[in-house]
Protein backbone atom coordinates (compact mmCIF):
# COMPACT_ATOMS: atom_id res chain seq x y z
CA UNK A 1 0.00 0.00 0.00
CA UNK A 2 1.46 3.42 -0.94
CA UNK A 3 2.25 5.98 1.76
CA UNK A 4 0.69 9.44 1.93
CA UNK A 5 4.04 10.90 0.89
CA UNK A 6 4.18 8.68 -2.19
CA UNK A 7 0.67 9.76 -3.22
CA UNK A 8 1.01 13.51 -2.53
CA UNK A 9 4.72 14.09 -3.13
CA UNK A 10 5.13 15.62 0.34
CA UNK A 11 3.35 15.41 3.68
CA UNK A 12 3.34 19.23 3.67
CA UNK A 13 0.73 19.10 0.86
CA UNK A 14 -1.92 17.51 3.12
CA UNK A 15 -4.32 20.17 4.46
CA UNK A 16 -6.17 17.88 6.85
CA UNK A 17 -8.94 15.33 7.13
CA UNK A 18 -12.64 15.40 6.27
CA UNK A 19 -15.32 13.11 7.66
CA UNK A 20 -17.43 11.56 4.89
CA UNK A 21 -20.28 9.03 4.76
CA UNK A 22 -18.62 6.89 2.08
CA UNK A 23 -16.20 6.71 -0.81
CA UNK A 24 -16.45 9.34 -3.55
CA UNK A 25 -18.57 8.43 -6.55
CA UNK A 26 -17.22 11.33 -8.66
CA UNK A 27 -13.73 12.79 -9.23
CA UNK A 28 -14.67 16.08 -7.52
CA UNK A 29 -14.90 17.13 -3.86
CA UNK A 30 -17.31 20.07 -3.40
CA UNK A 31 -17.81 22.33 -0.41
CA UNK A 32 -21.32 23.72 -0.29
CA UNK A 33 -22.40 27.27 0.24
CA UNK A 34 -23.99 28.47 3.45
CA UNK A 35 -26.75 30.94 4.12
CA UNK A 36 -29.07 32.60 1.61
CA UNK A 37 -27.39 33.73 -1.59
CA UNK A 38 -30.35 35.95 -2.49
CA UNK A 39 -29.75 37.97 0.70
CA UNK A 40 -26.08 38.42 -0.28
CA UNK A 41 -25.08 36.73 2.96
CA UNK A 42 -21.34 37.45 3.36
CA UNK A 43 -20.74 33.93 4.66
CA UNK A 44 -22.37 32.26 1.65
CA UNK A 45 -19.13 30.85 0.20
CA UNK A 46 -17.01 31.25 3.36
CA UNK A 47 -16.13 27.56 3.87
CA UNK A 48 -15.59 26.94 0.16
CA UNK A 49 -13.39 30.03 -0.15
CA UNK A 50 -11.29 29.16 2.91
CA UNK A 51 -10.73 25.63 1.59
CA UNK A 52 -9.80 26.91 -1.88
CA UNK A 53 -7.29 29.35 -0.36
CA UNK A 54 -5.69 26.55 1.70
CA UNK A 55 -5.46 24.40 -1.44
CA UNK A 56 -2.91 26.77 -2.97
CA UNK A 57 -0.23 25.32 -0.68
CA UNK A 58 -1.87 22.13 0.60
CA UNK A 59 -3.77 20.40 -2.19
CA UNK A 60 -4.86 17.16 -0.51
CA UNK A 61 -7.46 16.03 2.04
CA UNK A 62 -7.64 12.61 3.64
CA UNK A 63 -11.25 11.36 3.85
CA UNK A 64 -12.24 9.28 6.86
CA UNK A 65 -15.56 7.50 7.41
CA UNK A 66 -17.57 9.52 9.93
CA UNK A 67 -20.90 11.17 10.68
CA UNK A 68 -24.40 10.00 11.55
CA UNK A 69 -24.98 8.17 8.26
CA UNK A 70 -21.65 6.33 7.85
CA UNK A 71 -21.82 2.54 7.84
CA UNK A 72 -20.07 0.69 10.66
CA UNK A 73 -17.53 -0.93 8.29
CA UNK A 74 -16.28 2.52 7.18
CA UNK A 75 -16.44 4.38 10.51
CA UNK A 76 -13.00 5.68 11.47
CA UNK A 77 -11.28 4.23 8.39
CA UNK A 78 -9.19 6.23 5.92
CA UNK A 79 -11.09 6.00 2.63
CA UNK A 80 -9.30 8.22 0.11
CA UNK A 81 -6.77 10.93 -0.55
CA UNK A 82 -8.64 13.67 -2.45
CA UNK A 83 -7.09 16.54 -4.40
CA UNK A 84 -8.65 19.96 -3.78
CA UNK A 85 -8.50 22.89 -6.20
CA UNK A 86 -8.36 26.63 -5.59
CA UNK A 87 -11.71 27.15 -7.34
CA UNK A 88 -14.98 27.93 -5.56
CA UNK A 89 -18.30 29.66 -6.21
CA UNK A 90 -20.85 29.09 -8.94
CA UNK A 91 -19.34 27.01 -11.71
CA UNK A 92 -20.50 25.07 -14.72
CA UNK A 93 -19.29 21.51 -15.08
CA UNK A 94 -16.06 21.79 -17.08
CA UNK A 95 -15.31 18.11 -17.60
CA UNK A 96 -17.17 14.99 -18.61
CA UNK A 97 -17.65 12.19 -16.13
CA UNK A 98 -17.34 8.86 -17.94
CA UNK A 99 -20.42 6.59 -17.78
3-class DSSP assignment, residue 51? helix
Please compute the mean of the pLDDT values over residues 81-94 and round it to a whole number: 77
State the residue range of the domain holding 38.
4-83
The CA distance from 3 to 22, in Å, is 21
Better-scored residue on pLDDT, 50 or 73: 73
Q: Has residue 25 been placed in a domain?
A: yes
The CA distance from 81 to 38, in Å, is 34
pLDDT of residue 92: 64
Split at pLDDT 50, 70, 90, the class of 93 is low
Q: Has residue 60 been placed in a domain?
A: yes
Please compute the mean of the pLDDT values over residues 72-86 and round it to a whole number: 92
The CA distance from 50 to 55, in Å, is 9
The reported pTM is: 0.73
The CA distance from 59 to 10, in Å, is 10
Max distance between CA atoms of the chain, in angstroms, equals 48
What's the structural domain count of the chain? 1
- Looking at residue 98, the DSSP 8-state letter turns out to be P
Amino acid sequence: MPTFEEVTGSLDKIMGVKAVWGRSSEPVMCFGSRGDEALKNPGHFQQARATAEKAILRQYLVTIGGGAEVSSDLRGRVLEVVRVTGVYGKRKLSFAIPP
